[in-house]
């Protein structure tokens, strides 16, 4: 299985602390040695990095760990391959354009071969993973139902949840998906989240000897939510998503569609 990491914040924020923990699981404290990737949004712009090498040994991962790229929405993934060879085109997260926005997707799990019976039309996979195929099908369903970006995202969120439910019937489907503003987190087996806001405190990583006092790094109005396959810290209370649950985040807060 792979591992996911996402962030939604109300102000541009770096993810160096959380990524430091995640990258250790890419071959050091975990078995996910088959590539990694990360995508940072700057408005509608996207800055993304991919490497088919283990993140614990990757010089590119070291750059991300040490260089504070600030973003309001981030998706990252470390891979333990099951479908598709280890190569750059099979490295998450995957991206496609819709409505003039770059959508980014990462998946943890494995889906039955019946997945490939689902029709893909506008979006075609570049690689050979079940994950990318699922993304192409899902985003194609969104495009078919909404040729133009709607003002109200409630129906879009509901459609994505229905598509995720359908994919969950084919196996394990834990997902992070965003178009830059909304971050959709869907759980089949493992996905947890934590929201940090004032009064901020200290957090200690589980996978590395690193503690940060967020009170020294933030303003009192900052809101930052981090989503991960497994909690990244050992001194904070994370909330686990239930099986079949999807939460949509925007500006660090869960979105309550009416």
CA distance 69 to 27: 24
Which of the residues 2, 56, 136, 187 is marked catalytic? 2
- DSSP H helices in the chain: 16-24, 59-66, 130-145, 154-168
Cα dihedral 205, 11, 58, 190 sign: positive
- CA-CA distances (angstroms) from residue 147 to 12, 103, 160, 175? 30, 15, 15, 23
Spell out a b/e string for 198-236, using b for 16 or more CB atoms within 10 Å of the CB, else e.
eebeebebebbeeebebeeebeeebbbbbbbbbbbbeee
| Contact of 124 with 110, CB cutoff 8 Å | no
What 8-state DSSP symbol labels residue 66? Answer: H
The token pair that represents 151 in the structure block: 């003002």
The 10 Å Cβ neighbour count of residue 41 is 23
Catalytic annotation on 2?
yes
Beta-carbon contacts of 23 under 8 Å, excluding residues fewer than 6 positions away, are 36, 55, 56, 58, 61, 64, 65, 78
CA distance 235 to 151: 40
Show which residues are catalytic: 2
């Amino acid at each position: 299985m792979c591992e996911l990491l996402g962030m939604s914040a109300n102000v541009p924020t770096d993810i160096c602390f959380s990524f430091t923990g995640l990258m250790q699981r890419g071959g050091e404290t975990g078995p996910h040695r088959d590539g990694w990737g990360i995508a940072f949004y700057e408005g509608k712009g996207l800055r993304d990095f991919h490497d088919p090498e283990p993140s614990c040994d990757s010089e590119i991962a070291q750059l991300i760990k040490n260089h504070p790229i600030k973003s309001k929405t981030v998706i990252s993934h470390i891979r333990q391959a099951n479908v598709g060879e280890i190569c750059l085109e099979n490295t998450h997260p995957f991206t496609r354009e819709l409505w003039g926005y770059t959508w980014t997707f990462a998946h943890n799990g494995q889906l039955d071969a019946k997945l490939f019976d689902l029709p893909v039309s506008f979006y075609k996979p570049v690689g050979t993973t079940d994950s990318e195929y699922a993304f192409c099908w899902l985003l194609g369903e969104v495009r078919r139902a909404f040729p133009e970006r709607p003002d109200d995202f409630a129906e879009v969120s509901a459609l994505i949840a229905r598509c995720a439910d359908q994919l969950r019937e084919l196996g394990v489907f834990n997902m992070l998906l965003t178009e830059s503003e909304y971050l959709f987190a869907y759980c089949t087996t493992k996905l947890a989240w934590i929201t940090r806001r004032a009064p901020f405190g200290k957090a200690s990583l589980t996978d590395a000897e690193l503690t940060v006092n967020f009170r020294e790094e933030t303003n009192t109005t900052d809101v930052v939510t981090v989503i991960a396959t497994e909690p990244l810290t050992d001194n904070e209370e994370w909330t686990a998503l239930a099986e079949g649950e999807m939460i949509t985040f925007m500006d660090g807060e869960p979105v309550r569609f009416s």
